[in-house]
Amino acid sequence: MGRLLRALPLWAAALWWGSLTAVGFMVVPQLFAHLPTMALAGQMAARLFATQTWVSLACGLALLMASRYASADYADDRMALTRYVVLAGLLTALLSQFAVAPHIIARDNLPLWHSVGTALYAVQWACAAVVLHRLRSA
């Protein structure tokens, strides 16, 4: 049982990075390629990204809790940087969902807000990748 608990942070990081990869780089592009209208694809993409935000928050909070309460394996100074990367990823998820997405849904200066949302998603994806790599290497 102890080995399973120690593996949970790695599983959370893998789920976070994998779900971001699947949604952002595979599923959403397929929506725009195959649904009959861009508006319908956009509505579905917005729902998927909202769900992805909750997955990201759950994984990030699990990682933060594990880093706080885990054994010395996750409590060293090297893991302190990993906690900051997790926090940065969570911040980008929240900004995307609650600051950027409303502008995209309202079609308010769509090129600008879509670019900002894409950049934040890429930063979140990179944060998840860094966390996954650091936990795998720990």
Res 72: pLDDT? 54
At 137, the pLDDT band (50, 70, 90 cuts) reads confident
Res 35: pLDDT? 98
Query: Which residue range is the domain that position 118 belongs to?
Result: 2-137
3-state secondary structure 60-99: HHHHHHHHHHCCHHHCCHHHHHHHHHHHHHHHHHHHHHHH
For residue range 68-119, list pLDDT tens digits in order: 766 555 556 667 889 999 999 999 999 999 999 999 999 999 999 999 999 9
Number of domains in the chain: 1
Contact 70/16 with Cβ under 8 angstroms? no
Res 66: pLDDT? 86
Q: Which two three-digit tokens encode residue 100?
A: 């950027």
